[in-house]
A and B are shown apart, each in its own frame.
Chain A
Amino acid sequence: MNDEIELMFRVKEGQLDKLALLYEGNKVSLYNFFLRSGNSPALSEDLVQETFMKVLAYRSGFQGSSTFKSWLYGIARNTQADYYRKSSNKKIHNDIDDHEQVEEQTLGEQFEQVEQHKLFEASLNKLPPEHRDLIVLSRFQQLNYQEIADMLDCNLNTLKARIRKAISTLQQCYTSLTGEGRS
């Protein structure tokens, strides 16, 4: 973690080749962050590229007051928000169809687990972006609460309250989908 801060300071000083190490260490998780946020694979790749371009462009603003991941994901969220603000007529794609293609091949006793997985993904995609981001960042991207709080510029208690609210909304979406599926 501290190594990443050190590397980012090197980039800030002008050693741009050090950005490659930061990219290699974070590209997969960042790509999956965009995927889980409901973007198509091609767009997720473009957003990763755009995020690192902004890391380079705004390197002089890096202070190292929080972790590099916290700073990176802050830029990533803004990049995604900018993209959808500029192309307001475009809706976020979701990858449920892609998952279905893979998961339809799974058979027998795994069926229930697969169904649950699909319903969870569908519920996640139904959430408002701010709730979805909180769940994706805390549950799947393994960012700790302090990192997320730094990114959102709020205190830990506020963050906990927001996460509880996000999970509660997720549960409502999930229950409603389960109900629809059974009726």
Chain B
Amino acid sequence: MTHDQIIDWKLAVIRGEVEAEMTPEMATYLEAHADLQQEFDFIENVYAKHEVQEQAPSATMDANFYQMLSRAQAQGQKHQETRQQEQGKKDWFQLFKQWWLSPRPVAQFAALGLVFALGFNLNTGPESTAEPELASLQHEVASLNTMLALNLLERSSASERLSGVAYSKVSELTNPVLQQKLTNLIKNDSSTSVRLAVLNRLALLQDIQPYADILMELSADNDNALMQFSAVRILLGSDNKTIQKRLNELAKDENLNPDIKALILAKNQQTFA
């Protein structure tokens, strides 16, 4: 009989795994060891009696979870559609090659060009110029959304910051304060979901150049694979030659996550193929 055996037995009794009756041998051993008796009493009278008082989380937690799940589902669907579109593009390219090799491509191309030129001239009139009032209204709405986004992005709760990121989608990202705020969030926010949401926001930009430095920094950071993959994915989508050059330099780094390296190299091969 040992000290450890008696403690293990007592803990097993609390978990309901063994019978609660102590053997005479155990009782004798316990009586002979005062320190063990003290520990035994603590387990019996305090540790085992401490009641579990479960508290219920707020409804906000549920709302945030279902919002996150719905975003993930939408993103999954979008990803699938993109793949289908890419497949469609490949098929279209095959058809184009077959058509180009057929005997009448020049005549058909000329006819199409003529139709295009006629259509373009007929549709270019005074009514196609942008209406200044509508443009001004749109600008005002975008400014209000920017203010709302900035306000939400400064809140302490991650869910509110996520809402701020959502508002930034309908804001003017040329606003330097908003740009700075988003850059700070990517670098320092305690919640990965907020950081990822900002990255997803940036993925929608036509020109990623203002965020290139921070994205390159994230791409080299092996500590958070999720952020790293997202950052590299955005950079790979850019046509900017400087960014592509910097990515190729990064791929040469020996310490870089091998999966990231493979992703960059695969993209390069696809580009040159």
Contact = CB atoms under 8 A, between A and B. Distances in A.
Interface of A: 14, 16-17, 19-20, 23, 27-29, 31-32, 35, 41-42, 44-46, 48-50, 52-54, 56-57, 83, 86-87, 116-117, 120, 138-140, 144, 160-161, 163-164, 167-168, 170-171, 174-175
A87 B190 CA distance: 7
Interface residues of B, number: 41
A23 B65 contact: yes
Given A23-B69, A41-B57, 8 more contacts: A14-B76, A17-B69, A32-B54, A45-B58, A48-B57, A49-B61, A52-B68, A53-B193
Given A49-B65, A174-B42, A44 B50 contact: no
8 contacts: A16-B76, A42-B156, A49-B65, A49-B193, A139-B14, A170-B47, A171-B38, A175-B42
A48 B156 CA distance: 16
Interface string B33-61: 00000110011001101111011111011
Rank and list the top 5 A-B pairs by shortest CB-CB distance, nearest first. A45-B61, A31-B57, A171-B42, A46-B158, A120-B50
A156 to B, nearest CB: 10
A46 B157 contact: yes
Interface stretch (B3-11, B121-129, B170-178, B198-206): B3-11
Nearest to B11: A163
Given A16-B76, A20-B66, A167 B8 contact: no
Contact of B39 (A45, A116, A117, A171): A171
B65 A167 contact: no
Nearest to B47: A167
Given A28-B56, A35-B55, A167-B43, A53 B61 contact: no
B158 A49 contact: yes
Nearest to A86: B190
Nearest to B10: A167
Given A14-B76, A31-B61, A44-B57, A49 B68 contact: yes
A160 B15 CA distance: 13
A168 B10 CA distance: 13
A88 to B, nearest CB: 11
A139 B47 contact: yes
Given A168-B39, A170-B47, A16 B57 contact: no
A50 B193 contact: yes
Contacts of A83: 190
Interface string B134-161: 0000000000000000000000111100
B192 interface: yes
B270 to A, nearest CB: 23
B242 interface: no
B22 interface: no
B57 A45 contact: yes
A49 B159 contact: yes
Contacts of A170: 47
A164 B57 CA distance: 31
Q: Which of A46, A140, A160, A168 has the most CB of B within 10 A?
A: A46
Q: Which of B55, B57, B64, B159 has the most CB of A within 10 A?
A: B57
Contacts of B193: 49-50, 53
Contact of B192 (A23, A53, A120, A139): A53
A57 B226 contact: yes
A83 B158 CA distance: 13
Contacts of A117: 50-51
Given A31-B55, A31-B61, A35-B55, A46 B69 contact: no
A114 B245 CA distance: 66
B140 to A, nearest CB: 34
B72 interface: yes
A39 B224 CA distance: 23
